[in-house]
Structure 1
Amino acid sequence: MAGLLTIVPRYLPRLGMAPEWARRQRPLVLFFTGVAFAVTLLFRARVEAQAAAYATGVLVVMSSAALAVALLAQKERQGVAPYFQALLLLFAYVLVANVVERPDGVRIASFFIAATLFVSFLSRALRSFELRVEGFQADEMAERFVDLIRKQETPLRLVAHRPERGRLSAYWEKERRIREATHIPPHDPIYFVEVFVQDPSEFATQARVWGVDHLEVKVFRILGTAAPNTLAAFLLYLRERTGKRPHIYFEWGDEGPLQAALSFLLFGEGDVPTLTHEVLRRHEPDQAKRPVVHVGG
């Protein structure tokens, strides 16, 4: 239990694979105690079976450590590498012999691992519609854009744009298509917003925002963990900073529903318009205050 109380709060909540209360030790102690009782009842409190599970777990940890050390010694071409490889073979032999002789240990360990993975994946899926942004750190240019938006008399209009390199004409083409499809007045300024997903395994982070001014094209660039969630959080952030109700414009993608859902869960992208609207709907129940999502093209 001491090992789990050290590892779980450090990794699983950060990856979204456990609820936020898993960062606190007291609820975790109660949870793991309940799991221990469940395992005891499931295997009828057989000391032999639990002893086999303990031995199997210890041997797996030691074999994993031996493998890591052997690979590191081989990579650094150390002279002691053959000794570590011999220890690895010894631990692997003892582990296999223990599993063959006392398979109950593998059954208990498999039950616990399967339960942990199931709960972790379920938590990640259920929490996928959270904002996943702890705050925004804007640079000087982004702050200047926010000041301009606050002073302008026209509505706040943003266009979601997939990050691309180089081509400034891509922004002009996108603006033309969006204005035609959604009938944005020619005199209303628009701001592009791009989300760069660096590490989708990170569940929540402090998002960094850069402002980029390309003459007639103004772009917010955001480093986040998932495109729909980051966009939704940024819209709410701009609403609070400017006092204006944001409007964001998308074009439909070409992905199927299943592919889009998998892309969202695994890579933080996917059916961005629909998912952005869903995140906003869950976090702003008042439709009159909720940022507006438009899709055209």
Structure 2
Amino acid sequence: MVSLGYFLSCEEFGPRELVRQAEQAADAGFERLWISDHYHPWNDVQGQSPFVWSVIGALSEAVDLPVTTAVTCPTVRIHPAVLAQAAATAAVQLNGRFTLGVGSGEALNEHILGDPWPNADVRLEMLEEAVEVIRLLHQGGSRSHRGKHYTVENARIYTLPEQPVPIYVSAFGPKAAQLAGRIGDGFVSVMPDADILRTYREAGGKGPAQGGFKVCHAPTVEDGLKTAHRIWPNEGLPGELAQVLPQPEHFEQASELVTQDMLSLPTGPDPEPYVERVRSFVDAGFDEVYVAQIGPRQDEFFQFWRDKVTPRLG
């Protein structure tokens, strides 16, 4: 049976509100959490971007739910040796209930130190080596690594969980899905795409598949669409724009081309579209499904999900 989680948006909410939402999610019956890892929001209307590792520490004291980063880029902005330490500490704080979700990242977050933003093939190559570095350091002891992209010299992580941190790999296309199958302990996606998931499995991926989507519960479908379009119009951007645009203002400019009817997400008061979206992930073969409510109606959403959606999911 599929496990349902709530998706905490670091782009839209500050750290205290994220912890409050996690507590509400637990009370509403959600079994696990996703949390995004950004330096910038996608646009200024979203308006937040707390440091995810601090928030995870607070979550570990507030709830008993498993947490996955969805997703962390371990390649440019933060060296994988540093992220190895952060992930290990998070796993200790959460008593082993932490999963490091990783992906090849976006220029939006990774350009900030002035490093060049490589093409997709190089980003995947860097991701593979970064995961190698993280796993090496999670073995304990003094470790060194000299690779094409990263150097580690005599580094030791002293605070380690009892078991190595699981690393799930995000994928939007076949190359990334093949990489996820080769190196990942699990798979992460925001599309109910059975073909991509099949590619992951055929490449050797045996771990769980996590999928997630956004919704906007509101008094009417139109109200929900208006809110979603105001806050998250970037959801309608095509192709690789999300990976290559470097600043929130560029996303705002590109999103001027996104009309309200181009957004495809459940909105409004009827539970059935929400149920159908969950089932689309289940039918595609996903093991865990995460839901993010857009906008300020968080309290109403959790009550709606508990009272109207959950009974229909069985």
Q: Given the two structures, how large is their TM-score scaled by the length of structure 1?
A: 0.26
Q: Given the two structures, how large is their TM-score scaled by the length of structure 2?
A: 0.25
Of Structure 1 and Structure 2, which has the larger fraction of its residues in helix? 1
